[in-house]
Structure 1
Amino acid sequence: MTTGQATERVAIVTGGSGGIGGAAAQRLAADGMKVVVHYAGGAAKADQVVESITAAGGVAIALPGDVADPAEMGQLFDTVQERFGGVDVVVNTAGIMLLAPVAEMDLDAFDRMHRVNVRGTFVVSQLAARRLRPGGALINFSTSITRLQPPTYAAYAATKGAVEAMTLILAREMRGRDVTVNVVAPGPTATALFLDGKTEEQIDRLAAAPPLERLGTPEDIAESVAFLAGPGRWVNGQVIYANGGIG
């Protein structure tokens, strides 16, 4: 959307220093939204996203915070409120992926992943539920792995199954607020998170799996985000599988 309304809208993108988060931030900025690029440890990358947006004529700032810490994220929402007057869109891409077979998964790693992916999503969703303005949208992130079920992904998929459950219930709890709540579930996407630790052969095999015969790009996923954040007002309480038809 490039209407006057869109130029007044404000979006927070958690994990905005990452591949999908950065692409989503830039795509929403291209639609005229003022964008807050959240980061945890990637300050330099978040600044790069902000610079890219401002160079293209958009408005963006980078803000830090631990998504699982309600005080830190509450402060982030307060800062956005003070700076821009409110929040209309929250895109929650922040997450980590730690892989191992169930029999070998380190439970400290399991707990760390649940803290970020489940508790973090819950904290941000709670704040969004309290603060999103009418006409707003919350977009959480799952994964197509919940359908594909490959070995070593059980703990990660469990966190995303939890994200889907809480998000779809929240959509029903937001009755009367004129706020949509959805999940985007990407398939194999060419990001650092996905490519790390994979051989060229593994990457080629995954790229050949979808009928479209390629990996997704962060920009592909950002288009789904832009649709749900803008014109897709009648899509609510859904999981959108952005995966090129892989499953």
Structure 2
Amino acid sequence: MAKPAAATKVVLGEPGIEHVNGQVFLNLHIMNVGEAPLGNLHISAMTLGSARRASPPGFPIVIEHIGASSTAHVTARFSSAELTVGGKYLFTLGGTYTVGGLAYGLSLNRFIRLPAATAAALPRFKARVESSSRARYWNYTLFNDEPAASRKSIATLSLAIAAPVAVTGIPAGWAVETDGQTFVLWYAADDAPPYPHQLAPGQSLSGFQLMSARTRSEASPAALTSWNHASDEAGPVVSDYVMTPYRFA
């Protein structure tokens, strides 16, 4: 690795912190305060004291460009089970980036004080997506963890991707839209109530699958949108990371 030039400086800004339902949600700001743009930033590690990392599920997270005097945003989530309210814990972020074709190591850290647990600032949709991969296939399973009384179902799964893919798995009653390169959107193909193919509270659904010529993975943004059957309208969205095909051959 090269030694960073004087015009290169990357810092970790003050993070946004939420402590909700035994989880610490971090909204992280990677700030390029230097005079040169950064490229090909690969985040390869995140830690918060001894806490178990819940998200992202793996690495790297790739940010292709951060302009001079600009900021990139990523998120992370950790279990608070091993942490104490009011305690100070060291958050670390490691990786690499390039400037002018030269590669540099990245090591950022700052202490974070764990706040008392609170209710979520915005209504949360209790749902998640888990990913796995084998050979050239990436598989996704949805879980609706809402209580039955909420009547919020999962209506769509969207992925932001950065590699060529083919959709090889579509669950029964669902449909898909994709450009094969930057996004994939699966959606329950129900036009009217009772929307039988949406994923109801307490249920899980697999069968979402991608195939790619790539063999490595990266962590990419994913979103689950809800549909409120009580009011027959769109509800909250939950965003997270899943593993998708790596953008570089």
TM-score by length of 1: 0.25
Q: By percentage of residues, which structure has more strand?
A: 2
Q: TM-score, normalised by structure 2?
A: 0.25
Structure showing greater Rg? 2
Structure with the higher fraction of residues in helix conformation: 1
